[in-house]
Homo-oligomer: A and B are copies of this chain.
Amino acid sequence: MSPDTTPTDAEAACFEAGIKFGTLYHQFAGTPISPDSAASLATAMEESIENQPHCTEVTVDVRLEALESELADSTADYTELTGRFLEVEIVVDYEGCAVLTRMEMEDGYPLMRLESVRDG
């Protein structure tokens, strides 16, 4: 590995932030969810991901309106967790670099996005 390809702290911070997002999404996608159980699932997602290294804050909002709208068209009273029911913000701090990342719906898809990278 030549010296000029050595990752910077900011790049490592972005890598760490991505790990948290992939973890959050793929650990919990598919979980049975209803309007009544949404709050406890959101709290568990936040607290479990905040355990991971360098993760300073996770905020999970369940989009209750989208959830209720899907259930209104359904004979079931619960569904499976997927990206269109979520808005997530994750903050990572790695060696003084603060990275803010967000997942939101965009054109019908849940998009994970790097918002800002602030060097220490």
Residue A117 CB within 8 A of the other chain? yes
- The copy count of this chain in the complex is 4
A110 to chain B, nearest CB (A): 10
- Report Cα–Cα, A70/B72, bound state, in Å: 22
Which residues of B have CB within 8 Å of A109? 75-76
Instruction: Provide the A4-47 mask, 1 if CB < 8 A to any CB of B, else 0.
Output: 01111011101111111111111111111110110011011111
Given contacts A14-B7, A15-B114, A51-B32, A80 and B82 within 8 Å (CB-CB): yes
- Report Cα–Cα, A21/B14, bound state, in Å: 13
Residue A64 CB within 8 A of the other chain? no
Closest to A29 in B: B30
A104 to chain B, nearest CB (A): 15
Which residues of B have CB within 8 Å of A45? 44
A100 to chain B, nearest CB (A): 8
Given contacts A18-B15, A26-B30, A32-B23, A116 and B6 within 8 Å (CB-CB): yes
Instruction: Provide the A76-92 mask, 1 if CB < 8 A to any CB of B, else 0.
Output: 11101010000000000
6 A-B pairs with CB atoms under 8 Å apart are A7-B116, A15-B18, A27-B28, A40-B44, A43-B43, A44-B44
